[in-house]
Structure 1
Amino acid sequence: MKNGSSSSAQTALVIGGGLVGLSCALHLQRSGLSVTVLEPQEKPQGASWGNAGHIAVEQVQPLASRAMIAGALGRLYPHGALALPVSQIGSWGPFALKLLRASAPARFVAGTTALSALLAQAMPAWQRVCDLTGTALLLRQDGHFVAWESEATAAKGRAHWLSTDIGTATVRDATYDELAAIRALAPKSGIAGAVRFGGSGQITDLGALAQAMRQGLLDAGGTVRHAKIEGLHIEGGAAFGRVGSERLTADHIVLSAGAASADLLRPMGARIPLIAERGYHIQSPDSRWPEDMPPVAFEDRSMIVTRFAGGLRAASFIEFSAHDAPPDPGKWRKLRAHVAALGLPFEAPASEWIGARPTLPDYLPAIGRSRRAANLLYAFGHQHLGMTLAAVTGEAIAALATGRPPVADLTPFDPARFGDTT
């Protein structure tokens, strides 16, 4: 990679070393800025590393919708995958009220239009990142399956996906051979039907991708520093950070700290209605799952199963809570029960993971410039689409920092939509 930085280059501090932060840093460095990534963990464990690796270009409709709210009761844990712990009502109660307002039909239509435009650029942006970092082999663009276990849910699910807006993706009925292959992998399930999406994709090794992105940043002259920032402050219309007694300044500060982003903004008086939407997974170190089988979402169980280079992963649950609340071991047991009921080829022992998706009430990310601090850029709140939108978000942030037009209209993602305190 070509190093475009110099001693006179503008500086950028990227707070957060997840996939969104790494993408922002990589694109800023290549745009001629001198970039430092600040990441508290040498081995990050956030949502970037626990997801299904699914590039979900089909998910153009925000989850903040009247349909989602209408069906919420039927999806409540332990029967379903939506968890609203009573002990965490102080976190999710106010958020739920904001979500209700954000789900108004006009806002849903506007959100769908905005997400559609951004998601249309998601796969091309990942292609560019993978080309830059020499990781094209980690990007699979062969779609995914959605499968159902009863004739009734298959008919309902199939009708939904064949009639709904899925952006640039395509969907068709699974072929006889494809259905047979899914049934062979889930022999206890009695799979009744499935559809296959085209245009979506998968990253086959998240760790290898992240390492290549870090190395690409370092090769271009950037820096990765492991330190925990204590918060962002404002002085003279500019933001700065603190690590202990050290004051961190930069021409551009990019906040991409995931679920921790709102906490970091509080010292400067900014209020963002961000919640930790936590997910769980289990991962088997080895599996008979074929390497060429795309991810399969078992929709009746709200669970997606993906083969990675490091094993087979089953992921599920939407748990609204504080990001540092203790995990619920029952959810890992539920995942194991799903795997056993389907007869999936999981080998013991399976590792456990929990992580927090940073979610805003309208289910749109915050991508844009702070109105309070001219040097502060926002790149967080990507909910279930952090993996999907990481590459295009990095391109958008680099465009904002350098005055270039972004690849999509960022107005709907402007943090100012949450009020003057942003």
Structure 2
Amino acid sequence: MQDFDLVVVGAGIVGTASALWARKRGLSVLLCDPNPPGSGTSFGNACTLATYAVMPVNNPSILRNLPKLMFGSDSPLSVDYLHAMRNPLWMLSFLANCRPARADHIARQLADIMGHADAGLNPLIAEAGAEDLIHNRGQLSVWSTRAAAEGDRAGLEFRKAQGIPFREIGPAEALALEPGLKQPIHSAVHYHAARSIEDPQELITRMHRRFLALGGQWKQAAVTETRAYTGGVEVTCGEDRIDAAHVVITAGAHSKSVRGSGAEHLPLGTERGYHLIFGGEKHRVTRPVGWAEGGFYAVPMAQGLRLAGTVEIASLRKRVNQGRLAYIARKGAEMLGPLPEPTSHWLGYRPTMPDSLPVIGRAPHSDRIIHAFGHQHLGLTLGGITGRIVADLAEGRQPNLPIAGFAPDRRYA
């Protein structure tokens, strides 16, 4: 007799949502992570349920602006060139996905799943009693130059065609919404239906607490290996060997470390992201504000003002890049005026596939192993619906939305 119907590997937003959905369905579930729930990459995000974010990082503008992005002294992108040289196929695949036809395909895949994001997360928010953590003031995106705004015009038109609600506004209305902004404003967009989270880790903590209250099991240990067989899968978690009907790999950027899961053979890379917290400065903005040219968000949250974003292509093992933190602090001052010294800083590891799409589906070598990682910038937004899909697959059900485009064995370039 198997110990569990489902073992969930990783307790970020995707893993915790998967565990809670599966337990709500009546499955016996073990959730495993060497760290407390929500304390990894899910901890440091921009607190935004970005249901409007259907345009991939891969887009033709990357190719047009690549020299400026890579070598400019004031760029939101940083590349460790030694890491890039060690991973040339990933880098080339990422750039191949910036071609117009591929970028359009990726955007349509994201738009399809994004349309289900709230249906996946809202029941978990209610289940966890976390409604007080949700804010409904929308999100503001700001462009400082005509060139940058025109470069993003195609993305706005795509969103409009997908029925994503937003209002294009001018500088005066943008400042009426956010009078604390100091940078030049050419134009702005208010995604008025977007929501934000007061404290992402608290959300995951409450989801985890509800999972336990429903009878779910928790083990604070790392899963190092899975071994699939005809009727199930053996999981090595800490010192224990556990027998399960299914296992789901939701360990984000660390998913490749689970031997035998199939994840170790996939082109999973890492976009390192940073944030700074300024305690006592929450009043600077009243909703998440994204500065397009700066490549980061300013967000009011429980701990204060969070400046979160930028992209660093580097390995998991590289030390904190102080230059990235200095960049965020400098651009934050340009955006909001003088800021005090930050009270804390953070580095996280966004799990990123070269086509900017998550991996959601059964492992090619075994239908007993499910993959659910690679959500890049969208883990918080898509965690709930991914968890619901995982529960469907663990029950042997067909999800009520197409997921073939996220299959582990798909084409990546």
TM-score, length-scaled by structure 2: 0.91
**How far 1:290 sits from its partner (Å)?**
6.0
Deviations 1:353-399 (CA, angstroms, capped at 9, x unpaired): 00011011111111011121221111101111111100000111111
Query: What corresponds to 2:246 in structure 1?
Result: 252
Give the 3-state SS of the residue equivalent to 1:142 in structure 2: coil
Stretch deviating more after TM superposition (158-167 or 192-201): 158-167
8 Å CA contact 1:91–1:275 kept in 2: the answer is no
**How far 1:236 sits from its partner (Å)?**
5.2
CA distance in 1, matches of 2:163, 2:336: 33
Query: What corresponds to 2:298 in structure 1?
Result: 305
Query: What corresponds to 2:133 in structure 1?
Result: 138
Distance 1:28 1:317, change over 3 A: same
Could you tell me which amino acid in structure 2 is paired with residue 354 of structure 1? L
Deviations 1:72-104 (CA, angstroms, capped at 9, x unpaired): 322226421111112312454221112234344
Distance 1:69 1:47, change over 3 A: farther
- The answer as to 2:353 corresponding to 1:363 is no
**How far 1:322 sits from its partner (Å)?**
1.4
**How far 1:239 sits from its partner (Å)?**
3.8
8 Å CA contact 1:283–1:351 kept in 2: the answer is yes
8 Å CA contact 1:91–1:320 kept in 2: the answer is no
**How far 1:182 sits from its partner (Å)?**
5.7
8 Å CA contact 2:148–2:293 kept in 1: the answer is no
TM-score, length-scaled by structure 1: 0.89
- The answer as to 2:83 corresponding to 1:100 is no
8 Å CA contact 1:102–1:108 kept in 2: the answer is yes
8 Å CA contact 1:36–1:225 kept in 2: the answer is yes
What is the root-mean-square deviation of aligned Cα atoms in Å? 2.6
Deviations 1:330-373 (CA, angstroms, capped at 9, x unpaired): 11111111122233474433311000110111111110111212
Give the 3-state SS of the residue equivalent to 2:179 in structure 1: helix
Distance 1:295 1:164, change over 3 A: same
- The answer as to 2:407 corresponding to 1:407 is no
- The answer as to 2:201 corresponding to 1:191 is no
8 Å CA contact 2:76–2:294 kept in 1: the answer is yes
Query: What corresponds to 1:201 in structure 2?
Result: 195
- The answer as to 2:27 corresponding to 1:33 is yes
Count matched residues.
410
8 Å CA contact 1:237–1:373 kept in 2: the answer is no
CA distance in 1, matches of 2:220, 2:50: 30
Query: What corresponds to 1:82 in structure 2?
Result: 77
**How far 1:211 sits from its partner (Å)?**
1.2
Give the 3-state SS of the residue equivalent to 2:293 in structure 1: helix
Percent identity between the two aligned chains:
28
CA distance in 2, matches of 1:91, 1:233: 29
Query: What corresponds to 1:390 in structure 2?
Result: 383
CA distance in 1, matches of 2:276, 2:176: 22
Query: What corresponds to 2:42 in structure 1?
Result: 48
Deviations 1:52-73 (CA, angstroms, capped at 9, x unpaired): 0111112223323333333232
Stretch deviating more after TM superposition (141-150 or 231-240): 231-240
Distance 1:269 1:343, change over 3 A: closer
Distance 1:267 1:51, change over 3 A: closer
CA distance in 2, matches of 1:204, 1:117: 27
CA distance in 1, matches of 2:322, 2:149: 33
8 Å CA contact 1:161–1:171 kept in 2: the answer is no
8 Å CA contact 2:363–2:371 kept in 1: the answer is yes
Could you tell me which amino acid in structure 2 is paired with residue 74 of structure 1? K
Distance 1:358 1:269, change over 3 A: closer
Distance 1:267 1:66, change over 3 A: same
Query: What corresponds to 1:165 in structure 2?
Result: 159
Give the 3-state SS of the residue equivalent to 2:394 in structure 1: helix
Q: Which runs of 5+ in 1 are unaligned?
A: 1-6
CA distance in 2, matches of 1:266, 1:85: 29
Stretch deviating more after TM superposition (385-394 or 116-125): 116-125
8 Å CA contact 1:121–1:407 kept in 2: the answer is no
Query: What corresponds to 2:371 in structure 1?
Result: 378
Deviations 1:247-300 (CA, angstroms, capped at 9, x unpaired): 232111010000011222467685010001110110112115267x22101112
Could you tell me which amino acid in structure 2 is paired with residue 415 of structure 1? P
- The answer as to 2:17 corresponding to 1:23 is yes
Give the 3-state SS of the residue equivalent to 2:366 in structure 1: coil
8 Å CA contact 1:58–1:168 kept in 2: the answer is no
